[in-house]
């Protein structure tokens, strides 16, 4: 059942807002790399794993320390097996620190008080790029007694700020070469032919003829021959600080689960009339007592008789004409004038699309 709605107005059509190129694109090749590892946390107050896997991993750790034990010799729930993950940034170098996420893999109740033992973090190529270690921060807590338990936030997932040290870097390569020429590729976060062309035009105003549009999601920028290796960063800074007007397609996004409606700035509605009304049905169940009217009637007894009261009320439906809406503000005013509920708004947008009056793409989540 939809209980809330938000009709978001994203500006007026025709009034473009300029954005810096660096805020709407990525440089191809500049990306992070995921790192993962399987680790062991210790120091839990009896809330750890009860599985064989955790005992086996603890046995391996103790054997590395010179203690020869078997999993059956270890009892208790003070350890837990966890998945450790981090992201190696495109320019992270040896000795730099990374934030680490820790997630329980076994049946641990909580990781409160956990200390992660040194854990190698590997990339998809199997190479070790960082080593994680440290105390796990949960951002919450839990307390329990014999009859009740109280907790705040998720207890089996935690984080270690600056918990990993980079042992091997993987620096991003974003300058490409072909036929002796250097270039880089700007990829749009939201693909659009118009925006891509505006980016290319803005760059060409700085350096004539160095930029071309590859497609709706990429713009190739050639690096002038006079730009030295030391001047590449200032060159990128210069072209990405330019402002362009971002074009947004006409789109209406509806989330029926939450009743959220987001309307893009270029959405328009052709001339149409909308009638909106509601049917209210009230059902009331009650129990009445049946008492015999004649005293001392043979075989008569007091009884409880169920009674149902049904009331149907149909509210008036008003046919409201809507002129062609050319801006989102006009569209919002027209829909607010109807006084529709969130469910009614969603039905109205679907009906407008079916009637061909909604000049936008309708996306249902």
Give 175-226 pLDDT, tens digit per residue. Answer: 999 888 999 999 999 999 999 999 999 999 999 999 999 999 999 999 999 9
pLDDT at position 3: 34
Q: Residue 171: pLDDT above 50? A: yes
Structural contact between residues 363 and 353, judged by C-beta atoms closer than 8 angstroms: no
d(CA 36, CA 86): 6
Mapped onto helix, strand or coil, the DSSP state of residue 205 is helix
What b/e sequence results for 240-254 when a residue is b if at least 16 CB atoms lie within 10 Å of its CB, and e otherwise? Answer: bebebebbbebbbbb
Asked if the structure places residue 8 within a domain, the reply is no
Q: Which residues contact residue 333 at a Cβ distance below 8 angstroms, ignoring those fewer than 6 apart? A: none
**Full residue range of the structural domain in which residue 142 is found:** 33-166
Q: Residue 6: pLDDT above 60? A: no
Asked if the structure places residue 75 within a domain, the reply is yes
Domains of the chain: total: 3
- Domain boundary, last residue among 166, 185, 201: 166
Same domain, 46 and 160: yes
Asked if the structure places residue 301 within a domain, the reply is no
Higher pLDDT, 332 or 128: 128
Asked if the structure places residue 229 within a domain, the reply is yes
Same domain, 257 and 237: no
Asked if the structure places residue 127 within a domain, the reply is yes
CB-based burial label for 303 (10 Å; 0-12, 13-18, 19+): exposed
d(CA 359, CA 252): 10
Same domain, 149 and 179: no
d(CA 341, CA 354): 20
pTM confidence score: 0.71
Asked if the structure places residue 208 within a domain, the reply is yes
Same domain, 234 and 203: yes
d(CA 315, CA 321): 19
Asked if the structure places residue 64 within a domain, the reply is yes
Structural contact between residues 224 and 207, judged by C-beta atoms closer than 8 angstroms: yes
Same domain, 39 and 154: yes
Catalogue the long-range contacts made by 231-238 (C-beta closer than 8 Å, 24 or more residues apart). Answer: 232/175, 236/27, 236/184, 238/206
d(CA 112, CA 155): 7
d(CA 197, CA 14): 18
Same domain, 179 and 213: yes
Same domain, 39 and 157: yes
Structural contact between residues 119 and 133, judged by C-beta atoms closer than 8 angstroms: yes
Query: DSSP letter at 182?
Result: E
Same domain, 178 and 148: no
Q: Which residues contact residue 276 at a Cβ distance below 8 angstroms, ignoring those fewer than 6 apart? A: 317, 318, 320, 338, 339, 340, 344, 348
Same domain, 330 and 227: no
**Strand 243-245 to 251-255 pairing:** unpaired
Asked if the structure places residue 305 within a domain, the reply is no
Same domain, 100 and 160: yes
Same domain, 215 and 236: yes
Same domain, 87 and 154: yes
Structural contact between residues 310 and 298, judged by C-beta atoms closer than 8 angstroms: no
CATH code, domain with 223: 3.90.1150
Structural contact between residues 212 and 178, judged by C-beta atoms closer than 8 angstroms: no
Mean pLDDT of the chain: 81
Q: Residue range 169-178: average pLDDT?
A: 90
Higher pLDDT, 204 or 353: 204
User: Helices (H), strands (E): how many in the chain?
Assistant: 6, 25
The strand ranges marked E within 173-322 are 176-178, 181-188, 211-215, 218-222, 243-245, 251-255, 260-263, 268-269, 272-276, 279-290, 303-314, 318-322
The strand ranges marked E within 123-197 are 128-135, 141-144, 149-152, 157-166, 176-178, 181-188
User: Which CA distances in Å does 277 have to 274, 327, 331, 346?
Assistant: 10, 26, 19, 14
Higher pLDDT, 340 or 364: 364
- Domain boundary, last residue among 141, 166, 191: 166
pLDDT single digits (tens) 73-129 = 777 688 999 999 999 999 999 999 999 999 999 888 888 889 999 999 999 999 999
- Which of 71-75, 98-102, 171-175, 305-309 has the highest mean predicted lDDT (pLDDT)? 98-102
Tell me the two tokens of residue 68: 């020869």
Q: Residue 11: pLDDT above 60? A: no
- Domain boundary, last residue among 102, 132, 166: 166
């Amino acid at each position: 059942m939809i209980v809330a709605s938000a009709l978001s107005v994203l500006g007026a059509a025709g009034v473009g807002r300029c954005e810096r190129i660096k805020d709407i694109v990525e440089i191809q090749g500049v990306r992070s790399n995921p790192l993962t590892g399987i680790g062991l946390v210790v120091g839990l107050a009896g809330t750890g794993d009860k599985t064989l896997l955790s005992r086996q991993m603890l046995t391996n750790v103790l054997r590395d320390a010179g203690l020869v034990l078997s999993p059956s010799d270890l009892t208790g729930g003070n350890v837990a097996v966890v998945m450790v993950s981090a992201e190696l940034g495109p320019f992270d170098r040896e000795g730099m620190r990374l934030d680490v996420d820790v997630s329980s893999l076994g049946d641990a109740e909580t990781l409160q008080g956990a200390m992660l033992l040194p854990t190698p973090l590997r990339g998809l190529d199997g190479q070790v790029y960082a080593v994680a270690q440290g105390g796990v921060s949960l951002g919450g807590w839990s307390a329990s007694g014999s009859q009740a338990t109280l907790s705040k936030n998720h207890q089996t997932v935690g984080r270690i700020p600056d918990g990993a040290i980079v042992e091997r870097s993987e620096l991003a390569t974003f300058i490409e070469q072909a036929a002796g020429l250097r270039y880089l590729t700007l990829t749009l976060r939201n693909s659009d032919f118009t925006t891509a062309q505006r980016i290319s035009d803005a760059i060409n105003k700085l350096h004539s003829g160095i930029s071309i549009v590859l497609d709706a999601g990429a713009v190739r920028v050639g690096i002038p021959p006079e730009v030295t290796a030391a001047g590449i960063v200032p060159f990128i800074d210069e072209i990405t600080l330019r402002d362009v007007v971002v074009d947004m397609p006409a789109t209406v996004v509806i989330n029926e689960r939450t009743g959220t409606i987001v309307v893009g700035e270029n959405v328009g509605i052709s001339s149409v009339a909308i009638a909106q009304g509601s049917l209210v049905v009230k059902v009331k169940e009650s129990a009445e007592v049946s008492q015999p009217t004649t005293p001392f009637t043979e075989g008569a007894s007091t009884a409880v008789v169920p009674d149902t009261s049904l009331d149907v009320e149909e509210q008036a439906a008003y046919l409201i004409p809507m002129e062609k809406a050319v801006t989102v503000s006009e569209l919002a005013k027209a829909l607010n004038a109807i006084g529709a509920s969130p469910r009614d708004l969603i039905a109205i947008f679907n009906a407008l699309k079916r009637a061909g009056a909604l000049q936008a793409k309708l996306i249902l989540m």
